[in-house]
Amino acid sequence: MQLSGLSVLLTRPQMQSASLVKAINSHGGQVCELPLIEIDPVDDPDACEAIKARILSLDQYDAAIFISTNAARIALEWIDAWWPQVPDGLAAYAVGPGTAQVLRALDWPVNCSDKGVTSEDLLALPGLQNISGQRIALVRGVGGRELIAETLRERGATVDYLELYHRRTPDYGTDMLLTMIRQQQINAIVVTSAQILDVLLHFLQNDPTTITSIPVIVPSERIRQHAINAGVVRVINAGGANDETVLEALATVAVPLG
C-alpha cells in the first residue's frame, strides 16, 4: 500500500488516532489532526450517582451494548471501580471492531458484527433476535440515535441507558479549519461519525467549494448518503472506522495521485 502524495486530515476526538497516524505515515502519507468533537465524561454529581447505581446493578442485566470506543473505555473505568470482575452471564455487544477491542481488555467475550459498523449491523446479530423479557443496558454518550433501543423494545426487551459522556464541539475560530486545509494542502478527510461530518460542514460553510474538491472518507453508507445530501461530491464509504478499513479507503484516493 502506498499513500505518498496524501495529506490527510483526521477529525476524531483527541488521543484516538495515534495508531492510524502511525500507519498512514508508515505508508508514505502525511497527517494533520484537528479534532472536531471532544469527549467529556459525565461529571454532574446526580448523573454520576445514577450511573453508579446502574453499574452496581449490572448483574441484573442479560446484556450490555456499547455504542462506541468512548462508551467502552469509560464504562470499563466504571466497572473497574465497582466490580472485581465482569458479572457472570452478562453478554457484551459492540458496534464495530474498535469498540470490541476495547472491551476485550477484560478478557470479555464480545459479540460484534463482521458485516459492518452500523446500528443495523448490530441489530442483525443472532443473539439480539429472541430477546423478549431480557433486560439490556445500552452504553453510550448523552443523546444520539434511538434506533437500537426502539428496535430492542419492539422485540420485547427492557432497555436502560447508561449515558457516560458528552460530545462537545471545540471552540475553533471561524477560519481555522479552512486555513489548515489550504496551508497543509489537505487532499483527503477522514470523518468517523455523522456528528463530526456536521461539524466539518459547519466550519466550511463560508467556502463550500472546498468540500466539493476533497474526498471524504466515512464509515458507513448512512453517513455517505448524509454527506452527499449535504453537498459533498466525493464520498468514500470505508465500511468501518478501524485503521485497516480507513487505510484501504485512503489507498483508493492515493492511486489517482500516483
CATH of domain 40-167: 3.40.50.10090
Instruction: Assign domain 7-36+172-257 to a CATH class.
Output: alpha beta
Cα–Cα distance, 153 to 35 (Å, whole number): 35
Cα–Cα distance, 219 to 236 (Å, whole number): 8
φ, ψ at 7 (rounded to 5°): -120, 105
**Number of CB atoms found within 10 A of residue 44's CB:** 10
Instruction: Determine how β-strand 165-168 pairs with β-strand 38-41.
Output: antiparallel
Question: Tens digit of pLDDT for each residue in 41-65?
Answer: 999 999 999 999 999 999 999 999 9
Question: Tens digit of pLDDT for each residue in 107-150?
Answer: 899 999 998 889 999 999 999 999 999 999 999 999 988 999 99
**Number of CB atoms found within 10 A of residue 218's CB:** 29
For the CA atoms of 142, 194, 167, 93, the dihedral, rounded to the nearest 10 degrees, stands at 50
Tell me the residue length of the chain: 258
The pTM (predicted TM-score) of the whole model is 0.89
Cα–Cα distance, 196 to 52 (Å, whole number): 29
* Residue ranges covered by each domain of the chain: 7-36+172-257, 40-167
Residue 257: pLDDT band (50, 70, 90) is: low
Residue 258: pLDDT band (50, 70, 90) is: low
Q: Same fold for the domain at 7-36+172-257 and the one at 40-167?
A: yes
Per-residue model confidence (pLDDT) at position 116: 85
**Number of CB atoms found within 10 A of residue 188's CB:** 26
